[in-house]
Structure 1
Amino acid sequence: MGLPIMQASTLAVFLEPPVEAGGYGFSPLQLAFFTLTAWIGIICAQLWGCSFNDKIPLWVTRRRGRPWHTEYRLANTIPPCIILPIGLGIYGAGLEFHLHFMMLARASFMIWLSALLLLPICYNYIIEYFLHNPVEASMALNSYRVSLGLLSIFVVTHRKSAVGVGWMWGMGALFVLPVDVP
């Protein structure tokens, strides 16, 4: 969840400067409208989750013919694990090569959609795994998620100046791949 926080908190830095300065010249109102991509991603993730977060693991259980295992929930992570690195790569390339803002909007949608598809799956998996300590497990996951999300903001400016904006997001996509691939 740290990547969407990082993306949302840096929107003004990349989109509001004038075109001559390398930005997109967005007004505050245009920037606010751009954040609708996040809301659309959130809504789509909620609709997908309500429809499939229980159906897919139950289908895997029936297909394998075994009793329920907590790990069957992880079958839902396949689509977002493909979408997230692609969205990060498109976002970085869009900023680096100053592509049309709709490419950035599409990438922003993909980042938010995939991150918010993964979040409830991870919570359900961890809560089911630590069934006797659900509050402690949830607090640990929240602490990890929020602290890394907030810390990433402090790293962004140094990373951007060291490798450029395209590679900053591209490295995020590359760092996500080993975590996502089983």
Structure 2
Amino acid sequence: MQSQINLNTNWLLIKLSLILSFFPLLCFGNAGSSMMYFGLLHCAILNIFIGIAESIVLKKFKLSNHTWLIIIANYISAFIGLYFIAPYFSTITGNEGFWWGGKNDNLGYGLKGFFVGMAASFIATLIIEYPIFYLALKDRSKKNRLLGPFFIANFITNVIMTLVYYWIIVG
């Protein structure tokens, strides 16, 4: 009975997250951009699911880990990557407003700047998260096997998030 309740709760959280992830596409007006709102959702809620997904990838490679530490790693790297690294590199390559696209309607958005910012953010993510993923390993004797699965987990989640952000921009 308890596992049925947990399963129902997990599905409810997944459905709620999906609904909330599409909410920014409906936001119009001058209070902010859909890119900004999704970034806030990403930093507030989606990092939990990203951390769980990355933890599952590690477990598929027989690297048992503390999921909560991987979730913390994602919060730290998302905050630094999305609010400092990506906007900085996006700006120096020609996009003067990573979150705003230079206009409220995203029509003048510098996609080159967006992709450079997201790539720089991915590299920063790898640097920031690796030590925390190492600490998350339950069996540190397997540390030599961590790099490949760590890269795969982060590559998958970063590509998905970049595609979602791109989809929001080009809408």
Q: Indicate the TM-score class for this superposition, using the shorter chain for normalisation.
A: 0.3 to 0.5
Select the structure that is richer in helix: 1
**TM-score, structure 1 length as denominator?**
0.36
**TM-score, structure 2 length as denominator?**
0.37
* Structure of greater Rg: 1
Q: 1 or 2 for the larger relative contact order (CA 8 Å, sep ≥6)?
A: 1
